Amino acid sequence: MIFLVDHNLERHAVVLLGNIANQGWLEVVPIRFVTFKEVELSVDSSDRIVWRVAQANQMILLTANRKMKGKDALEKVLREENTTNSFPVITIGNAERLLDEREYRDRCVERLLEIAIDIENYIGVGRLFVP
């Protein structure tokens, strides 16, 4: 499973992937985090463009603070373009807690793994909040 990591979560993704690897899950569940740079997205790309790139590449968008207002706001994009075949957007509820609190981070990792393992149950749901 490939996660497109929002530009403001790159440091968080390193921590998450480290936890996933340390628990041995990468041997069981092929998880990869890719950055905006790797998919040639600008950090100021609109939510609509980011979402479309994620969908075109069958990636889960991992974010923490995509906009809620405006013509290209993530919520609006999901309402307009999400289909029963769309990959979900995962929003980390509190990005700073993920870095600062081991228990919170562990719950986020657990939820990400659950989604990655059972992705067929989450296709088309739109947005999921973790933990």
What pLDDT score was predicted for residue 67? 60
Amino acid at 30: P
SS (H, E, C) the chain: CEEEECHHHHHHHHHHHHHHHHCCHHHCCCCEEECCHHHCCCCCCCHHHHHHHHHHCCCEEEECCCCCCCCCCHHHHHHHHCCCCCCCEEEECCHHHHHHCHHHHHHHHHHHHHHHHCHHHCCCCCEEEEC
pLDDT level of residue 66 (50, 70, 90 thresholds): low
Tell me the whole-structure pTM to 2 decimals.
0.93
The domain segmentation of the chain, as residue ranges, is 2-130
**pLDDT per position as a tens digit, 74-128:** 889 999 999 999 999 999 999 999 999 999 999 999 999 999 999 999 999 999 9
What pLDDT score was predicted for residue 103? 96
**pLDDT per position as a tens digit, 13-47:** 999 999 999 999 999 999 999 999 999 999 999 99
34 close to 59: Cβ distance less than 8 angstroms: yes
**pLDDT per position as a tens digit, 15-24:** 999 999 999 9
Does the pLDDT value for residue 65 go beyond 90? no
Residue range 2-130 forms a domain whose CATH class is alpha beta
For residues 11 and 95, give the distance between their C-alpha atoms in angstroms, rounded to a whole number.
10
What pLDDT score was predicted for residue 105? 96
